[in-house]
């Protein structure tokens, strides 16, 4: 298969994944507004993360779909789309973790966040084993994910700050 066609297919798959995540965020948002609007009023960080995940996912979808429909997978659009996706995905995970902290014991919250970190690192390790040149890319992507996860998710969920 030609490299350009592979990039188009990968971008097409990513657009659909982002749309699925957008459905999840909207579902969480609508459930909270309907069933427990006070959670959003009382927890500004939770509200901010859910609300910001929505436009970030839209931006990621637009950037990714550009390469599908225009046929160009430039590094600029690819990086922008991925950065929007990574931040939105992290905010979604953080939102679930903060909600989990409202109803579960702290150990469950630790397990949730650390499972996300371990699984992300496992994915990265497998990608690096396949393609050694990906190491620098995986370091910055995983570093950003872990930093955002800890400071905007784990620590607030455990009420450490």
The pLDDT value given to residue 52? 96
For position 72, what pLDDT does the model report? 62
Instruction: Read off the pTM.
Output: 0.88
Q: Given pLDDT bands bounded at 50, 70 and 90, which one contains residue 70?
A: low
* The pLDDT of residue 161 is above 80: no
pLDDT tens for 46-63 read 999 999 999 999 999 888
Measured CA to CA in angstroms, residue 45 lies from 7, 49, 99, 125, 151 at distances of 36, 6, 11, 31, 11
- Inform me whether the pLDDT recorded for 84 exceeds 60: yes
Percent of the chain, pLDDT > 70? 92
CA distances from 56 to 16, 49, 52, 89 (A): 15, 10, 6, 9
For the chain, what is the domain count? Answer: 1
Taking the C-alpha atoms of residue 14 and residue 9, their distance in angstroms, rounded to an integer, is 9
Name the residue range of residue 118's domain.
3-157
pLDDT in tens, 7-29: 677 777 877 888 888 899 989 99
């Amino acid at each position: 298969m030609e490299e350009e066609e592979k990039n188009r297919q990968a971008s097409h798959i990513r657009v659909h994944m982002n749309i699925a995540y957008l459905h999840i965020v909207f579902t969480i948002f609508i459930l909270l507004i309907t069933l427990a609007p006070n959670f959003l009023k009382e927890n500004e960080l939770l509200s901010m993360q859910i609300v910001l995940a929505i436009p970030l996912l839209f931006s990621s979808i637009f950037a990714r779909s550009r390469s599908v429909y225009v046929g160009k997978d430039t590094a600029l659009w690819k990086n922008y789309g991925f950065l929007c996706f990574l931040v939105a995905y992290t905010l979604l995970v953080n939102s679930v973790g903060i909600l989990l902290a409202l109803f579960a014991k702290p150990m469950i919250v630790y397990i949730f966040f650390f499972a996300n970190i371990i699984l992300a690192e496992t994915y990265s390790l497998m990608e690096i084993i396949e393609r050694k040149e990906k190491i620098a890319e995986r370091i910055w992507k995983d570093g950003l994910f872990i930093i955002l996860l800890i400071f905007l998710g784990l620590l607030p969920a455990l009420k450490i700050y």
